[in-house]
Amino acid sequence: MSLKRIQDAVTGKKMICPTCKKPVQKFEKYAETIDAVRDGFNIQEIDSHSSRVTLICNNDGCDWKERTEYWENYIDE
């Protein structure tokens, strides 16, 4: 679900670069993150619902790039 949302936002030009305020052109390295901690012999999952992506602005004169779990903050709807 999250990947589809990221794709739609980027292709629909709704993922906005905070530096140049133009639509982000690309994204890569999508990953569902599962943060786990070892607690003795038990492994506890803390948060398995967030997904991380590298957003790449790629507009002329802007080299903004960010690896983030908070990509939703950049979607302008």
Q: What is the dihedral of CA 12, 15, 19, 25, to 10 degrees?
A: -50
Binding to Zn ion by residue 57, rule CB under 5 A? yes
Binding to Zn ion by residue 53, rule CB under 5 A? no
Least distance (Å) between residue 56 CB and Zn ion: 9
CA distances from 20 to 37, 39, 57, 61, 63 (A): 38, 44, 9, 9, 10
CA 46 to chain CA mean position, Å = 19
Site string for Zn ion, 17-36 (x = CB under 5 A): x-xx----------------
Binding window for Zn ion (CB under 5 A); candidates: 10-18, 29-37, 46-54, 65-73: 10-18
Q: Please give the single-letter amino acid code of residue 23.
A: P
Binding residues vs Zn ion (CB under 5 A): 17, 19-20, 57, 59, 62, 64
